Structure 1
Amino acid sequence: MLPDLDFYLIAIPAVLLVGLSKGGMGEALSLMGVPILSMAVSPVQAAALLLPILIAMDLVSLWMWRKHGDRKTLFMLLPGAIAGIVIGWATSAYVSRDLLRLIIGLITVLFVLRYVYNIWRMRLGITIAPKTQRAGPAALWGSFAGYGSFVAHAGGPPFQIYALPLQLDPREYTGTIVRFFAILNAVKLIPYFALGQLDLSNLKISATLFPLAIVATVCGAFIVRRMKPQIFYPFMYSMAFIAGSKLLWDGIVGLAAGG
């Protein structure tokens, strides 16, 4: 049996925000999906409902950005990310999600503040060169991205911490993050099924939201394709700051409530 109208009045804005994010408009929008949907169902069910929708969005995003993506960045981050998912599945019953949100949020906010500091330095005439690919940081932030994606749908900020300083072309950056999370979401299906978070009733509800998810994803890609680098990167860092601040706040509130 499908939910009533009240459910869809809450679910539709959540899916729209996540779809725009999947189109390339930043993980801050995506992070709003589960909290908004949790106003209608439990947080666990909200995450389970969104996963099939995320995968449908991934398929659209992969098609929209099929000609773009940086393979080296993708291959550098994926091993750590897969390991992070495995660790998240193995420790899901023992690690506080609120603590994880707090840690990722704090690191992301500090990362964006460092970007603002570098902008100030550049205005003083100091050149800030793009970062190079580095195995150690890639393994660290890749594992954070995989772990955060599995336990709290919060894998975007760690990805941004590694990838944004590379200063890739905006289209290549977007194609890379689309491929990265498409792979992670597909891998997450296995442990989600194992934990019993996906069942036929949830899949039926998710299916009713697929058309809206596709439209929102296409709209997000349409907007990002028309952004110049000097607009794209400040926008992405702003989205990272909003995402980090939200994770930080949710972690503090959750830990306070639990204490």
Structure 2
Amino acid sequence: MFGLDVIEIIMLVVSALIVGFSKAGIQGATIPAVAMMAIIFGGKDSSGIILTMLMVGDLVAIMKYGKQGNIRDVMKLIPAAVVGIIAGALVGTWINDGQFKMLIGIIVIICVILLAIRESQKRTIPLPDNPFLKGGVGVISGFSSMIGNAAGPIFNVYILAQNLKKETMIGTTAWFFFLMNILKLPFHIFLWGTITLETAKYTLFAIPFIAIGAWGGIWIVKNISEKTYRRLIIVMTAITAIRLFL
């Protein structure tokens, strides 16, 4: 089926379930899916296939939580994200993938440590409304997302620092990544050639499983506390950072 063996089809199905679960539930849980897709299709080719799967997951999350998302904050990040995407598209044609992942991993681990320290504080430290901070988050998110779909943990640190409710966090994150992924499409189609009519069949096959995973994510969000939800995101972010080194 699709030129894949049974094991690869199972991995594709599991990846789709994880994408849906992460987008509508525990943010940052997509790294196992990214890894499995890379095993099936190869690093660069898989980035285009999983991009379209992630966009489907974003749409599901937007339909459920989009009205609660902070669109104004997202739009402030997009211009800087465009700069990062363009830089990532150009650098991605020649940079050593292993070296890049190590660099992002270091950045993410630093962010996780700072986030864990912040979560342990008894008082809330508000995130400064600084245009340079937003610009940095946008550029780094755009760059790392374009190279290896690794922007999740970086944006998680930013969004968690705002002390938003679960639903608002999910809605804001979904809007940010959906808009950013739309901006990435031309580079994948025309520059890298990783999204084609041939690859579209994998996304179409994955849609029902993404929906099932999203349903599971929505159930989880409804049945866990705000504190537990935040800690789960921190754990997934830390796992992501470690995975980037492998």
Same fold (TM over 0.5): yes
Who is 1:109 aligned against? 109
The answer as to whether partners of 1:18 and 1:31 remain within 8 angstroms in 2 is: no
Gaps of 5+ in 2: none
Who is 1:23 aligned against? 24
Question: SS where residue 32 of structure 1 aligns?
Answer: helix
Question: SS where residue 40 of structure 2 aligns?
Answer: coil
Give 1:164 deviation, angstroms.
Answer: 1.5
The answer as to whether partners of 2:77 and 2:137 remain within 8 angstroms in 1 is: yes
Q: C-alpha deviations, 1:100-120, integer Å up to 9, x for none? A: 221222122222222333444
Give 1:95 deviation, angstroms.
Answer: 2.4
Cα distance between partner residues in 2 of 1:7 and 1:121: 45
Who is 2:205 aligned against? 208
**Which amino acid counterpart does residue 217 of structure 1 have in structure 2?**
A
**Which amino acid counterpart does residue 129 of structure 1 have in structure 2?**
I
2:233 is the alignment partner of 1:232:
no
The answer as to whether partners of 2:71 and 2:175 remain within 8 angstroms in 1 is: no
Cα distance between partner residues in 2 of 1:87 and 1:241: 25
Question: SS where residue 65 of structure 1 aligns?
Answer: helix
**Which amino acid counterpart does residue 234 of structure 1 have in structure 2?**
R
The answer as to whether partners of 1:38 and 1:46 remain within 8 angstroms in 2 is: yes
The answer as to whether partners of 1:148 and 1:155 remain within 8 angstroms in 2 is: yes
Moved more, 79-88 or 111-120: 111-120
Cα distance between partner residues in 2 of 1:52 and 1:184: 12
Give 1:159 deviation, angstroms.
Answer: 1.0
The answer as to whether partners of 2:17 and 2:209 remain within 8 angstroms in 1 is: yes
The match for 1:167 among 163, 167, 171 is 163
Moved more, 221-230 or 137-146: 221-230
The answer as to whether partners of 1:133 and 1:166 remain within 8 angstroms in 2 is: no
Aligned 1:143-158 pairs, distance under 5 A:
143-158=139-154
In the superposition, the TM-score normalised over structure 2's length comes to 0.91
Who is 2:33 aligned against? 33
Give 1:39 deviation, angstroms.
Answer: 2.5
**Which amino acid counterpart does residue 18 of structure 2 have in structure 1?**
L
2:184 is the alignment partner of 1:183:
no
Cα distance between partner residues in 1 of 2:30 and 2:206: 15
Give 1:180 deviation, angstroms.
Answer: 0.5
Give 1:121 deviation, angstroms.
Answer: 4.4
Cα distance between partner residues in 2 of 1:121 and 1:201: 51
Who is 1:137 aligned against? 133
Who is 1:79 aligned against? 79
Give 1:84 deviation, angstroms.
Answer: 0.8
In the superposition, the TM-score normalised over structure 1's length comes to 0.87
The answer as to whether partners of 2:56 and 2:210 remain within 8 angstroms in 1 is: yes
Give 1:99 deviation, angstroms.
Answer: 2.3
Give 1:162 deviation, angstroms.
Answer: 2.0
Give 1:228 deviation, angstroms.
Answer: 2.3
The answer as to whether partners of 2:27 and 2:156 remain within 8 angstroms in 1 is: no
The match for 2:188 among 192, 198, 209 is 192
**Which amino acid counterpart does residue 198 of structure 2 have in structure 1?**
S
The answer as to whether partners of 1:137 and 1:162 remain within 8 angstroms in 2 is: no
RMSD: 1.8
Cα distance between partner residues in 2 of 1:112 and 1:172: 21
**Which amino acid counterpart does residue 219 of structure 2 have in structure 1?**
F
Cα distance between partner residues in 1 of 2:218 and 2:209: 14
Cα distance between partner residues in 1 of 2:56 and 2:225: 28
Who is 1:51 aligned against? 51
2:50 is the alignment partner of 1:13:
no
Cα distance between partner residues in 2 of 1:115 and 1:55: 27
Rate the CA distance shift 1:228–1:132 in 2: closer, same or farther, 3 A: farther
Moved more, 172-181 or 98-107: 98-107
The answer as to whether partners of 1:24 and 1:178 remain within 8 angstroms in 2 is: no
Question: SS where residue 8 of structure 2 aligns?
Answer: helix
Question: SS where residue 223 of structure 2 aligns?
Answer: coil
Who is 1:64 aligned against? 64
